[in-house]
Structure 1
Amino acid sequence: MLMLHSYSTPLGTMSALLSEHGLCLLEFDEGTKGLALERAQVERVRGGAPGPGASALGAQLGDELAAYFAGRRRGFGVPLDMVGTPFQREVWRALLEIPYGQTRSYAEQARRIGHPTSVRAVAAANGRNKISIVVPCHRVIGSDGSLTGYGGGLARKRWLLALESSGAAPGRPEPQAQRAG
């Protein structure tokens, strides 16, 4: 059975869906285009609508998110239960290999997973990542170093990269833009 948890962060409230196997979805409640579709996909694949209640995994995720946003945590230990195609899961696993405080281009990510000509497919799979922050799609940038699409909006992406480069929480982010990809 899925469980729904909510977390208050400096960038807005985030909702999580957790199965008995791990984290299936973590997204910002506002400014995230496609959240309802992602949630419906997880519910369909993992057995229906989430139920109320607390869970040890939910508490662990809350503690880890709080430490991350305070600049005291560089990675996450909560188990993952990724919902997506085999290719998407391959791309998302590659995201987990991008070190805290570093970025990688879509082209470099495509090369690292052995699909150097599939840059657009890799970018599309990044855009379907349902586990924001923990699976760090915010660390992927354009080949020219530009900030490109992030489900939570570019202002949030900029804030997360600033947090990771300095180790300290930056000031409040600019107003949120809709998902670009």
Structure 2
Amino acid sequence: MNSDTQDRDTAQDIAWAVVESDIGPLLLAATDRGLVSVCFHADAAVREKLLAQLGARLGKELVEAPESARLAEPIRQLAAYFAGGLREFTLPLDWSLTSGFNRQVLRELATGVPYGAVVGYGDLARRVGQPGAAQAVGSAMGSNPLPVVVPCHRVVESDGGLGGFGGGLETKRLLLALEGVLPQPLF
């Protein structure tokens, strides 16, 4: 890390970087508490919008810092995941962008649905003590600020359908294929 990046990488900042992955560019953002955001399809327009939203919601300055110590481990673990060598993320997470029921569901998902497994929306609702809240679980998945790391791609419909996905269904298919849940695409 160069001294300029070190000087700017303070506890009040949100360090961010865009990294390439098998599912396209991902924007990663981290606070001093941990990884706070992962965003799919991080082209210039998406980046600009997300960075403005993050700054407003967290009340912190955003600093592009691909060399940041805060981002080094998330970048390493995501690369290992996409290379097939990592099955469980062990990152500090900053849950600031979610609360209440959504946070409860996302924490259960992060700890209770392992690599290569899937869970239904209703099953996840039952796991958090809200058996009638399958639709609310869907909303929690849609608001997940940490996709891939908090694996909302592993939540599927009870009839075997894929359900929705903020990164697009093709991205969900690719992630599930990477984990061996679905066959690899033919093309």
Shorter-chain TM range is 0.7 to 0.9
Unpaired segments ≥5 residues, structure 2: 1-12
Residue 15 of structure 2: aligned partner = 3
Q: By how many angstroms is 1:122 displaced?
A: 1.2
List aligned pairs for 1:48-63, cutoff 5 A: 48-53=60-65, 54-63=67-76
Residue 26 of structure 1: aligned partner = 38
Q: By how many angstroms is 1:42 displaced?
A: 3.2
Contact in 2 for aligned 1:57/1:78 (Cα 8 Å): no
> How high is the sequence identity, in percent, across the aligned residues?
38
Q: Describe the SS at the equivalent of 1:25.
A: strand
- Closer, same or farther: CA 30–149 of 1 in aligned 2, 3 Å: farther
What amino acid does structure 2 have at the position aligned with 1:132? P
Q: By how many angstroms is 1:66 displaced?
A: 0.7
Unpaired segments ≥5 residues, structure 1: 174-181
Residues 76-117 of structure 1 deviation map (CA, whole Å, 9 limit, x = unaligned) = 112100211221111110111101100000000000000001
Q: By how many angstroms is 1:36 displaced?
A: 6.8
Q: Describe the SS at the equivalent of 1:165.
A: coil
Contact in 1 for aligned 2:18/2:42 (Cα 8 Å): no
Q: Report which of the two structures shows the higher radius of gyration computed on alpha carbons.
A: 2
1:14 to 8, 18, 26: 26
Distance in 1, matches of 2:20 and 2:27, equals 9
Q: By how many angstroms is 1:29 displaced?
A: 2.4
Contact in 2 for aligned 1:24/1:42 (Cα 8 Å): no
Distance in 2, matches of 1:89 and 1:60, equals 23
Please tell me whether residue 93 in structure 1 is matched to residue 99 in structure 2. no
Distance in 2, matches of 1:171 and 1:9, equals 17
- Closer, same or farther: CA 35–95 of 1 in aligned 2, 3 Å: farther
Q: By how many angstroms is 1:41 displaced?
A: 4.5
Query: How many residues end up aligned between the 2 structures?
Result: 169
- Closer, same or farther: CA 117–165 of 1 in aligned 2, 3 Å: same
Please tell me whether residue 126 in structure 1 is matched to residue 141 in structure 2. yes
Residue 168 of structure 2: aligned partner = 153
Q: Describe the SS at the equivalent of 1:88.
A: helix
Residue 6 of structure 2: aligned partner = none
Residue 178 of structure 1: aligned partner = none
Greater relative contact order (CA < 8 Å, ≥ 6 in sequence): 1
- Structure with the higher fraction of residues in helix conformation: 2
Residue 159 of structure 2: aligned partner = 144
